[in-house]
Structures are given as structure tokens and as C-alpha cells.
């Protein structure tokens, strides 16, 4: 009987630890809540999050109390609907409020920082990465990053931003997931720079932009270090109206 109880405890413990390390990640450029019909519809974004039920969400083009979005704190509104923790990484002051990237997390956030990304050209829209550390069930730590790289045709700033991110996380001992709109196709130099450190969990996924008829992949979910992770699934969500990008989802497992 004691042996049976011991085996049962071991089996249950193993099952619990395995389940605790599974992480579902969504990245979504939400176009400040404006859908492709030009209508503000933050509920449409919330519906995607509710339907996919992610643990971590990287959001780009998030407004915070701006006039164009009727002074709504968009991240706070999404948090109230989804019941998740939040972190807003402001890239710039805009239209009476703030504008940048956001994070939603089902896990408690233990640390958070906004990392400025370089821009060489005067007047270029500032770019940042929001970086949080979360505590997973079982007390493992995970760093999660939401970012939005430069959108100019010339790749100079994107390359510099990719180098900054790669260097920032090169020596980290904590597993990290990097997600966002990188404004670059998979063969671009800036993506190859990131892939010197990170592995693309969505490498086999098709185009994500524009939402109504996707032609190019601009959105990514990456992880580091490679040996800490398994990818158990990934897909582009077939949502063509809520934003000008399609959302991207990946199921990861921390070893």
C-alpha cells in the first residue's frame, strides 16, 4: 500500500509540474482598437483574447488615455474583461495620453521594465520593448517581452533595434519569450540577427498582414534559450476584422 501511495504521489507531482510549465502565447498588433472598417471596437480585440485563452499576450499599438480613443485606458479595459495582470510600456506621449506596447499576463508580474530601442533618424517614432518577469506555478521564473520594431522602409533602425534586443538577452539565465510586430519578413537581416539568440516558434506560420488578405509575415513569437523549450503548436488566428494584423498564437512548454 505504501509503495502504491508513493507511486501515486510521484505520478501526480510529475503531472502537476508538466501542466504548470505549459505556456500559451498570443501576439497581436491591435491598431489602437480600430478595426479595418475604421471603427473603434476594443471588444473585438477582447473577444480574440477570450476565444484563444492565452497565458501571456503581447500587444502593439496600444493607446492609453488618448483623445483619438476617447481617453480610454485600453490595457486596463482589456484587463477588466480578461482578468489578467498588465504592464504598459509607453513609447511616446501622444494626443493627450500615451502610446506604446502592452502586456497581459495570467501569471503574477514580479518585475517590469521598459527598454528604449535606438532610432537614428530624427523625428522617427520612438520604439520600446516592454519586459516583464512572471512567476509560473511551481515558482519557475519567465521573462516575457512585447515589442514593435520600426516600420520605415529602410531597415537601419530595425537592424539596430534587433541588435539591442539580442544583446540585452544574450546572457540571460532566465527563460525568455520575445513577441511582437517586427515589421520585417522572415528572410530580413533584422530577423536573422534576432535568430542568432532566439528561436522562432512560429517559423512555419504564414502571413499575418494585412488582416483582410494576408500577404506577409510581420509578427513573431520567439524563445530563448532553445534547450529550455518545446513548441507544441502554433497558428495564425483567422480574424480579419478586429485589427489590420492577424493575431498569432503559440503553445510552448518549458522543460
Q: Is residue 93 part of a domain?
A: yes
The packing angle between helices 42-52 and 74-82, to 10°, is 40
pLDDT tens for 179-202 read 999 999 999 999 999 999 999 999
Q: How far apart are CA 95 and CA 70, in angstroms?
A: 10
Q: Is residue 12 part of a domain?
A: no
Average pLDDT (103-112) is 97
Element (H, E) at 130: strand 127-135
pTM of the model: 0.91
pLDDT tens for 18-51 read 444 899 999 999 999 999 999 999 999 999 999 9
Q: Is residue 6 part of a domain?
A: no
Domain that holds residue 122: 22-254
Q: Is residue 14 part of a domain?
A: no
More confident: 121 or 9: 121
Q: Is residue 13 part of a domain?
A: no
Q: How far apart are CA 6 and CA 186, in angstroms?
A: 49
| CATH code (residue 172) | 3.60.10.10
Contact assessment for residue 245 and residue 31, using Cβ atoms and an 8 Å cutoff: yes
Q: How many CB atoms lie within 10 A of CB 121?
A: 11
* Structural domains in the chain (count): 1
Q: Is residue 51 part of a domain?
A: yes
- Residue 18 has a pLDDT of 44
Amino acid at each position: 500500500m505504501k509503495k502504491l501511495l508513493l507511486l501515486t504521489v510521484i505520478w501526480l507531482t510529475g503531472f502537476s509540474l508538466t501542466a504548470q510549465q505549459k505556456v500559451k502565447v498570443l501576439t497581436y498588433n491591435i491598431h489602437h482598437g480600430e478595426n479595418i472598417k475604421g471603427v473603434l471596437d476594443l471588444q473585438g480585440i477582447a473577444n480574440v483574447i477570450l476565444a484563444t485563452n492565452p497565458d501571456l499576450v503581447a500587444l502593439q499599438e496600444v493607446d492609453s488615455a488618448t483623445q483619438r480613443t476617447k481617453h480610454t485606458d485600453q490595457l486596463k479595459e482589456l484587463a477588466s474583461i480578461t482578468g489578467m495582470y498588465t504592464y504598459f510600456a509607453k513609447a511616446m506621449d501622444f494626443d493627450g495620453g500615451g502610446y506604446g506596447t502592452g502586456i497581459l499576463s495570467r501569471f503574477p508580474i514580479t518585475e517590469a521594465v521598459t527598454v528604449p530601442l535606438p532610432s537614428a533618424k530624427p523625428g522617427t517614432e520612438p520604439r520600446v520593448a516592454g519586459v516583464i518577469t512572471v512567476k509560473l506555478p511551481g515558482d519557475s521564473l519567465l521573462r516575457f517581452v512585447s515589442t514593435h520594431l520600426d516600420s520605415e522602409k529602410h531597415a537601419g533602425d530595425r537592424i539596430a533595434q534587433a541588435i539591442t534586443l539580442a544583446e540585452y538577452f544574450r546572457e540571460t539565465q532566465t527563460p525568455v519569450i520575445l513577441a511582437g510586430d517586427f515589421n520585417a519578413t522572415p528572410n530580413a537581416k533584422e530577423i536573422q540577427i534576432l535568430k542568432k539568440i532566439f528561436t522562432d516558434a512560429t517559423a512555419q506560420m504564414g502571413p499575418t498582414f494585412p488582416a483582410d488578405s494576408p500577404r506577409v509575415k510581420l509578427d513573431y513569437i520567439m524563445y530563448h534559450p532553445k534547450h529550455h523549450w518545446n513548441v507544441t503548436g502554433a497558428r495564425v488566428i483567422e480574424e480579419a476584422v478586429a485589427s489590420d494584423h492577424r493575431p498569432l498564437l503559440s503553445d510552448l512548454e518549458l522543460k
